[in-house]
Amino acid sequence: MCQKKIFLIILIMIIFSGLANAEGVFFMFKGGYFNPSEQAFREIYGSGMMFGGELAFKIWNSLDIWLDGNYLKRTGELTYTQEETELRIIPVTFGLRYRFISGVTNLYLGLGACYFMFHESNVIGDVNKGGIGFKGKVGSFFSITRNLFFGLSVSYSYGKMTPAHFTINAGGIEAEAGIGFEF
């Protein structure tokens, strides 16, 4: 629990230090497809849609502080009993991204620390866990108007955690699209 509080305090401090120097603010609503890395995860829950948002603050030239959050909810069947099980994962990423600005199209690379909130519920019981990992992301923004843009990205996240008597990777490959605003 102490690890979560320290992570949250550091995250808040970095966000507010970035806001003090922010020149541009970016916000994006997005949807995407999540393909988990863990084979057991894919067997029980499969791959599926997720939704979320991004917030970024320009801190220096083409460098941004980046905050990313998603929501994934999947229903599956337990391996042996075939009874229904439900999973929710909320990964929140905080990091830096570098934009390669070239007019209408902006390519970017991002790397950040990720905190995974994991909740699984079935007849066996409920599991609520959290774990820290990382996320790497590559994407592009396409300007529609001066302040409106369309974004595409692909990312990989890794978050090792032990929800029961086994260890899993709650991350995987994400492909996303969204619409955003720059202020």
Tokens 């774990």 belong to residue: 131
Query: Would you state the pLDDT for residue 178?
Result: 97
Q: Please calculate the CA angle 159-112-163 and round it to the nearest 5 degrees.
A: 15
Total domains in the fold of the chain: 1
Tokens 């905080």 belong to residue: 94
* Between 143 and 163, the higher pLDDT residue: 143
Angstrom distance (rounded) from CA 105 to CA 35:
27
- Annotate 141-159 with b (16+ C-beta within 10 A) or e (fewer): beeeeeeebebebebebbb
| Cβ atoms 46, 39 nearer than 8 A | no
Closest CA to 32 of 133, 152, 122: 152
Q: Quote the pTM value.
A: 0.80
| Cβ atoms 49, 31 nearer than 8 A | yes
User: CA–CA distance from 123 to each of 42, 78, 83 (Å)?
Assistant: 20, 9, 7
Tokens 């970017």 belong to residue: 108
Angstrom distance (rounded) from CA 27 to CA 180:
5
Query: Would you state the pLDDT for residue 7?
Result: 65
What three-state secondary structure class fits 17?
A: helix
Q: What is the pLDDT of residues 59-106, one digit of tens each?
A: 888 899 999 999 999 888 776 777 888 889 999 999 999 999 777 788
Query: Would you state the pLDDT for residue 67?
Result: 94
Read off the tokens for 7: 């992570």
CATH number for position 123: 2.40.160.20
Q: What is the pLDDT of residues 13-66, one digit of tens each?
A: 665 555 555 458 899 999 999 999 988 888 878 899 999 999 998 888 889 999
Number of H helices, E strands in the chain: 2, 10
Q: What is the pLDDT of residues 93-152, one digit of tens each?
A: 999 999 997 777 889 999 999 999 989 888 777 888 888 999 999 999 998 998 899 999
Instruction: Give the domain extent around 95.
Output: 2-182
Query: Would you state the pLDDT for residue 146?
Result: 84
What three-state secondary structure class fits 164?
A: coil
